[in-house]
């Protein structure tokens, strides 16, 4: 491990891990977790899916007991036996998908479980004081009387952080992908709150796959690969390309933009409008084309793709698949028309988490794995195994429950289902959200390969860089209206952001 971080920081170490190891059965999830953090710093903990960072965080948070290694907190041995143990010692964690109670106010959400009471009744004034104290280190001003349902995405995340701070005295706050569901603009106030919190003396362990964001917010970093710490150091002078090489173990070559010869129109939308959004969208998608749609949260981009696939009802307009007459959209009909969708919400509607990887991959198209009307488990496993290898899905095998996979690997399973169904048109809504850089590169390369084979892709994203790197044309969604698609080579990130925010 590099000693750069220790050399550039002032003050004694707050939390130190040396050689922390943890196995689950025969699987060594963590072999050598080693790092050193100090009070008042934002320390980025990075690694590909399966690199061991979730296991290391679980040990720190008292969810797992380490098999080997040493952890020290404020110079004393630290081995929490439970999450309550860790919280009592000053370790708090905000998970990747924190939930607020929409029917409760900001005060009630922040003080949930630690409400100041007297004779069984909540003392409202004291509860407000607790909420204000929890929000103060974040440097934000949120109306304490607003309901959770009325909060903007960034405000919801900040309230979740404040709730963690209200539970006990916090020395180390672990933030797991705090901006994964936010756009660039929405992430800014959260990042500023994190910096302000660190300035108050709290150490923030910041976990993110968004490397540009990590470079902006973190002062030090640790990279894990294959269960081992490969480098720790100061973020000063470190850029995205160096972090990418550390994460992957090799450099990433620039993706050459191929000029694809596009075929006839395979999907056309004319004046498609929903109950609220979209507000009358028209466009055409050609055979072999990757068409990007960029928009900020609330622009209507997700509502558009849901209306196209039939998950939401369109109030007016028409959608044509190929040269066929327009039909009322339902997911079953779209699949029969060889149109598939990848939802941005893989947990609630993208996958059946209680079912196996094989069932998730093959359920929408059982004919290739059936004989005489019965599903062949051997054929199902073989078909799934091929896709597991093609997409580098990390799992114990086709029979593994989808719930046992990391978020990035769950996303690959959802994509594998579309490949198994052999759809011709792929509607991809935030296909790389919350997944590591290696998985993103694999999905980018796969999209280009599919387009070269004549498949057509509508790619919805809040990340302008990936759209400009993969798509043939990009259109901007704003207030429910889709602008005219333009060649990606004529655009840059600044132009897309300016148009989306105008």
CA 333 – CA 339 distance, rounded (Å): 9
CA 419 – CA 406 distance, rounded (Å): 20
Residue 131 has pLDDT above 70, yes or no: yes
- 135: pLDDT confidence band, cut at 50, 70 and 90? very high
Whole-model pTM: value is 0.72
Q: What is the DSSP letter of 347?
A: I
What confidence tens digit (pLDDT) does each residue in 38-54 have? Answer: 999 999 999 987 789 98
Q: CATH assignment of 265-501?
A: 3.40.50.300
Residue 376 φ/ψ, nearest 5 degrees: -90, 115
CA 163 – CA 289 distance, rounded (Å): 45
pLDDT for the residue 72: 97
Per-residue three-class SS string for 350-370: HCCCCCEHHHHHHCCCCHHHE
Q: Are strands 265-273 and 203-207 parallel, antiparallel or unpaired?
A: unpaired
Per-residue three-class SS string for 424-489: CEEEEECCCCCCCHHHHHHHHHHHHHHHHCCCEEEEEECCHHHHHHHCCEEEEEECCEECCCEEHH
Ranges in the chain annotated CATH 3.40.50.300: 4-98+170-248, 265-501
What confidence tens digit (pLDDT) does each residue in 77-103 have? Answer: 999 999 999 999 999 999 877 689 999
Angle CA 220–225–229, to nearest 5: 50
CA 82 – CA 65 distance, rounded (Å): 9
Higher-pLDDT residue of 406, 1: 406
CB 334 within 8 A of CB 296: no
Q: Other C-beta atoms within 10 Å of 385: how many?
A: 16
pLDDT for the residue 3: 38
User: Can you list the positions of beta strands (E) in 48-196?
Assistant: 68-73, 76-77, 91-94, 117-118, 121-122, 172-176
pLDDT for the residue 144: 96
CA 93 – CA 10 distance, rounded (Å): 25
CB 33 within 8 A of CB 69: yes
What confidence tens digit (pLDDT) does each residue in 402-419 have? Answer: 998 877 788 899 999 999
Question: Quick one: tokens of 70?
Answer: 């040493």
Higher-pLDDT residue of 168, 428: 428
DSSP letters for 391-415:
TT--SS-TTSBGGGS-HHHHHHHHH
Residue 108 has pLDDT above 50, yes or no: yes
Residue 30 has pLDDT above 80, yes or no: yes
What confidence tens digit (pLDDT) does each residue in 55-65 have? Answer: 999 999 999 99
pLDDT for the residue 228: 96
Q: What is the mean pLDDT of residues 147-158?
A: 89
Q: What is the mean pLDDT of residues 69-74?
A: 97
Q: Which residues contact 235 (CB under 8 A, 6 or more apart)?
A: 44, 214, 215, 218, 219, 220, 221
Q: What is the mean pLDDT of residues 231-235?
A: 95
- 1: pLDDT confidence band, cut at 50, 70 and 90? very low
CB 470 within 8 A of CB 459: yes
Question: Quick one: tokens of 80?
Answer: 């929490």
- 10: pLDDT confidence band, cut at 50, 70 and 90? low
CA distances 5 to 13, 37, 41, 152, 156, Å, are 10, 8, 11, 36, 32
- Homologous superfamily, domain 4-98+170-248: P-loop containing nucleotide triphosphate hydrolases (3.40.50.300)
- 257: pLDDT confidence band, cut at 50, 70 and 90? low
CA 147 – CA 244 distance, rounded (Å): 40
Q: Which residues contact 204 (CB under 8 A, 6 or more apart)?
A: 41, 42, 43, 172, 173, 174, 175, 194, 197, 198
């Amino acid at each position: 491990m590099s000693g750069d971080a220790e050399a550039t920081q002032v003050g004694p170490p707050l939390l130190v891990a040396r050689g922390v190891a943890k196995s689950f059965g025969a699987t060594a999830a963590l072999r050598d977790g080693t790092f050193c953090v100090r009070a008042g710093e934002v320390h980025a903990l990075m690694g590909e899916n399966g690199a061991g960072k979730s296991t290391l965080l679980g040990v720190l948070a008292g969810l797992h007991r380490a098999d080997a290694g040493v952890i020290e907190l404020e110079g004393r041995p630290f081995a929490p036996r439970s999450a309550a143990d860790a919280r009592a010692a000053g370790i708090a964690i905000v998970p990747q998908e924190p939930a607020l109670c929409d029917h409760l106010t900001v005060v009630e959400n922040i003080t949930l479980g630690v409400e100041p009471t007297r004779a069984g009744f909540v003392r409202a004034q004291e509860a407000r004081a607790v909420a204000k104290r929890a929000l103060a280190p974040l440097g934000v001003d949120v109306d304490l009387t607003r309901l959770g349902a009325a909060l903007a995405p960034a405000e919801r995340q900040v309230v979740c952080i404040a709730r963690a701070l209200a539970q006990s005295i916090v020395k180390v706050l672990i933030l797991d992908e705090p901006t994964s569901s936010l756009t660039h603009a929405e992430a800014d106030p959260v990042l500023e709150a994190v910096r302000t919190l660190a300035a108050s003396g709290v150490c923030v362990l910041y976990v993110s796959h968004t490397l540009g964001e990590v470079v902006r917010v973190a002062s030090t970093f640790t990279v894990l690969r294959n269960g081992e710490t490969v480098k720790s150091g100061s973020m000063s002078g470190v850029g995205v390309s160096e972090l990418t090489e550390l994460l992957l173990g090799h450099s990433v070559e620039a993706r050459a933009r191929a000029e694809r010869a596009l075929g006839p129109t395979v999907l056309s939308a004319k004046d498609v409008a929903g109950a609220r959004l979209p507000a009358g969208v028209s466009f055409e998608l050609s055979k072999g084309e990757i068409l990007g749609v960029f928009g900020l949260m609330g622009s209507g981009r997700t509502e558009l793709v849901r209306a196209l696939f039939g998950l939401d009802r369109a109030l007016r307009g028409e959608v044509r698949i190929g040269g066929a007459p327009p039909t009322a959209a339902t997911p079953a009909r779209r699949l029969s028309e060889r149109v598939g969708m990848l939802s941005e919400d893989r947990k609630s509607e993208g996958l059946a988490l209680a079912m196996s990887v094989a069932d998730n991959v093959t359920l929408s198209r059982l004919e290739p794995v059936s004989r005489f009307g019965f599903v062949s488990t051997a054929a199902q496993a073989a078909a799934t195994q091929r896709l597991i290898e093609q997409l580098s899905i990390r799992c114990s095998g086709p029979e593994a429950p989808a719930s046992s996979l990391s978020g990035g690997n769950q996303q690959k399973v959802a994509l594998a289902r579309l490949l198994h169904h052999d759809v011709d048109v792929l509607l991809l809504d935030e296909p790389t959200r919350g997944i590591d850089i290696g998985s993103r590169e694999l999905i980018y390369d796969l999209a280009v390969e599919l387009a070269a084979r004549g498949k057509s892709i509508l790619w919805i994203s809040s990340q302008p860089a990936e759209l400009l790197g993969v798509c043939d044309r990009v259109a901007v969604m704003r207030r429910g209206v889709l602008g005219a698609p333009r060649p990606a080579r004529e655009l840059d990130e600044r132009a897309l952001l300016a148009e989306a925010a105008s």
